[in-house]
Structure 1
Amino acid sequence: MTKLRDVCRHVRSKQAGPFWITFDIFFNGRENFERYSGCAALSPAQFAKLYGTDPERVKHIPVADLEMVKISFPRPTPQGGMVERDMHAGQQYVRLLDVTID
């Protein structure tokens, strides 16, 4: 069983303004990008399941020149709100690392 961490050189999450979170998933080479960039484990449905967001609002943007995928979705609450737990969204990527992608 291949995990996302096994086929990527870098995975990060960050704020994309006060209302959105974005993930940058950089694959280890063209072959891994072509094989996994459109896999079900990186689908809007999977992000909805993992992060409790509406799959209709998840944006999945492959960037072939960089061998990476950018995935963005609305934050559950605005950045800096009273229930904020990760203001810069820098730790949100961690649960993706062990996602099985085969």
Structure 2
Amino acid sequence: MTVTVTVPITELTDVIRSKNAGPFELTLDVVFTEHAQYELVKRESLLTRGRVAELYGVPPDDVAEPVFYDPARAVKITMRRPLVSGDVGDTDVYGAQQHAPLLSLRLPRA
């Protein structure tokens, strides 16, 4: 029996951030420290729209397919904002604090 040990995504990345992609969408960026880790996540589909939707508690249709950018070891995920930027009730006009749910993600180490 093989046991897969997972670690917090924060141990595997240099950057995890969010920002607005216009007033209606957020972009989540994840930049991995090592190329092997990035390749594992990409090859094994460990960061999918379904997984992101689950972390954020939104329908999968609100999350775009992740875009992998090999030269930077980066993944970009765009999703619909729960509230329009600056609308009544919006507490993060710039979308800069919306990466927090990603911080709870655990992944296998390459």
Give the TM-score of the pair, scaled to structure 1: 0.88
C-alpha distance in 1 between matches for 2:38 and 2:68: 9
Q: Secondary structure in 2 aligned to 1:62?
A: strand
C-alpha distance in 2 between matches for 1:57 and 1:38: 23
Say which is worse superposed, 84-93 or 45-54, in terms of deviation.
Answer: 45-54
Q: How many pairs align?
A: 102
Matched, 1:97 2:95: no
Alignment-derived partner of residue 31 in structure 1: 36
Give the TM-score of the pair, scaled to structure 2: 0.83
C-alpha distance in 2 between matches for 1:21 and 1:71: 8
Please provide the CA RMSD for this pair. 1.6
In the TM superposition, what is the alpha-carbon distance from 1:94 to its structure 2 partner?
2.0
Q: Could you list the structure 1 runs, at least 4 aligned residues long, displaced by more than 6 angstroms after superposition.
A: none
C-alpha distance in 2 between matches for 1:11 and 1:61: 15
Alignment-derived partner of residue 3 in structure 2: none
Contact conserved, 2:23 with 2:85, CA < 8 A, in 1? Answer: yes
From 56, 59, 63, the equivalent of 1:54 is 59
Identical columns (%): 28
